[in-house]
Amino acid sequence: MNLSAVDLNLFLVLHAVLETGSATGAARQLHVTQSAVSNALARLRDVLGDPLLVRSGRGLVATPRCEALRPLITSAVAQLQAAVDGHQFDPAESTRQFTLACGDNQHLYDLPLVVEAFARRMPRAKLRVVSLDYLIASDGLAAGDVDVTLGPVQVASREGFFAEPLYLEDVTFIARKDHPRLRGTVLTKEAFNASQQVDLHISHGRPGVGHRLFEQLMKEHGLTQNVVLTVSTFIAAAVAVSRTDYVVGMPARTAEALCGMLPLKQLTLEVSPKSPPFTMALIWHTRTHEDPGSRAFRELLIDALRDGSVPRRPPAVRPSRRAS
């Protein structure tokens, strides 16, 4: 028998009759007439070639075939109802694995806060952290392999993505503490243009959104780069700068963390007017937007990382024109 040729609503009627014990009770539960229930049962008898329910006194008795169907129908209806209603998600009991994609700069500052909150609120669940290279190569957000990523809010300009602002990030510069030409903590335009610099290509060895924002900053203030080293991680850039006279620009939070680990100092670029900070955001795909587990994971990340200066707002989405 071809299942596509069967009206599955007939099984919903049988389920209601079995639950209530009568055609009258089933009609009341389904908000239809008793004759509609009787007609549906007659059609299902023809499909299955079995009487299914027979009269015994004033009630109905299930045939052996119907009794065999009862647990299957009950389970199927429960699963379909759960699919329609959305299953309940208990963060404290979930053993699910959640995946976060981020750069190594977030490993230094954001990830410790995330891990602490995750261990407290989802003690039985698993946290998987992957690189931005993996995110791009796998198209992880759209494919469902990655739940969320952290990045500049501009990353969510593609169709089908949501973004929730988390905090504002300033650009700062670092150099080694005993740099012979940079004695204080102010980096003048002249000193910047005269320095040798490290460039960062974080994703797939190519400039990304953050790099384009940095290039825009330099253009606005008439700065020029003399790049002598290009690396793919902020940690590699910091280690290189700690052993040379190079200078590198990076997010202020990342610079603060790295300066606490290596013989480095932060430098404030002397420009006017001061460039506004850029907005870092939590980014996810419409594919997982309504999933209760994904929603709970996002709330955990927002609570752990959102700065008080960035107000909560309903996340905006660029809806996809195609199925995701």
What does the pLDDT read at residue 234?
94
With beta carbons less than 8 A apart as the criterion, state whether 316 and 162 touch.
yes
Is there a single domain that holds both residue 159 and residue 176?
A: no
Residue 92 lies in a domain: no
Is there a single domain that holds both residue 202 and residue 138?
A: no
Q: Which of 234, 252, 270 is the last residue of a domain?
A: 270
Residue 324 lies in a domain: no
What does the pLDDT read at residue 86?
61
Mean pLDDT of the region 45-74: 88
Dihedral of CA atoms 140, 144, 146, 148 in degrees, nearest 10, equals 110
In whole angstroms, what is the distance from residue 57 CA to residue 59 CA? 6
What does the pLDDT read at residue 78?
75
Q: Which of 85, 120, 150 is the last residue of a domain?
A: 85
Sheet of 186-188, strands arranged across: 186-188, 264-270, 171-176, 248-251
Categorize the per-residue pLDDT at 299 as very low, low, confident or very high, splitting at 50, 70 and 90: very high
Find the angle CA(109)-CA(265)-CA(182) to the nearest 5 degrees. 150
Residue 91 lies in a domain: no
Greater confidence, 6 or 185?
185
pTM over 0.75: no
Is there a single domain that holds both residue 289 and residue 248?
A: no
In whole angstroms, what is the distance from residue 111 CA to residue 98 CA? 14
Is there a single domain that holds both residue 34 and residue 76?
A: yes
Q: Which structural domain range is residue 208 located in?
A: 171-270
Share of the chain above pLDDT 70, in %: 90
Is there a single domain that holds both residue 52 and residue 19?
A: yes
What pLDDT digit, counting tens, does each position of 115-171 carry?
999 999 999 999 999 999 999 888 888 877 899 999 988 877 777 899 999 999 888
What pLDDT digit, counting tens, does each position of 232-248 carry?
999 999 999 999 999 99
Is there a single domain that holds both residue 233 and residue 285?
A: no
CATH number at residue 251: 3.40.190.10
Residue 90 lies in a domain: no
Is there a single domain that holds both residue 287 and residue 260?
A: no
Is there a single domain that holds both residue 255 and residue 179?
A: yes
Residue 189 lies in a domain: yes
Residue 240 lies in a domain: yes
> Distance of alpha carbon 78 from its chain centroid, rounded?
28
Mean pLDDT of the region 60-67: 90
Is there a single domain that holds both residue 296 and residue 312?
A: yes
Asked whether the predicted pLDDT for residue 320 surpasses 50, the reply is: no
Asked whether the predicted pLDDT for residue 323 surpasses 50, the reply is: no
Counting Cα atoms < 13 Å in the Cβ hemisphere of 197 gives: 18
How many structural domains comprise the chain?
Answer: 3
What is the dihedral sign for C-alpha 75, 76, 78, 79?
positive
> Judging by DSSP bridges, how do beta strands 97-101 and 148-152 pair with one another?
parallel
In whole angstroms, what is the distance from residue 68 CA to residue 79 CA? 18
Q: 127: closest CA among 105, 152, 110? A: 110
CATH number at residue 22: 1.10.10.10
Q: 163: closest CA among 73, 60, 285? A: 285
Report the largest interatomic distance among the alpha carbons of the chain, rounded to a whole angstrom.
103
Burial of 168 from C-beta contacts in 10 A (0-12 / 13-18 / 19+): middle
Residue 142 lies in a domain: yes
Q: Is the peptide bond before 273 cis (omega within 30 degrees of 0)?
A: yes
Q: Which of 60, 85, 110 is the last residue of a domain?
A: 85
What pLDDT digit, counting tens, does each position of 175-233 carry?
999 999 998 899 998 999 999 999 998 876 666 666 777 777 778 878 888 999 999 99
Is there a single domain that holds both residue 287 and residue 145?
A: yes
Is there a single domain that holds both residue 33 and residue 46?
A: yes
Is there a single domain that holds both residue 187 and residue 200?
A: yes
H-type alpha helices, 167-265: 189-194, 209-220, 234-242, 252-259
φ, ψ of residue 218 to 5 degrees: the values are -65, -40
Residue 115 lies in a domain: yes
What pLDDT digit, counting tens, does each position of 68-77 carry?
998 888 888 8
Asked whether the predicted pLDDT for residue 57 surpasses 80, the reply is: no
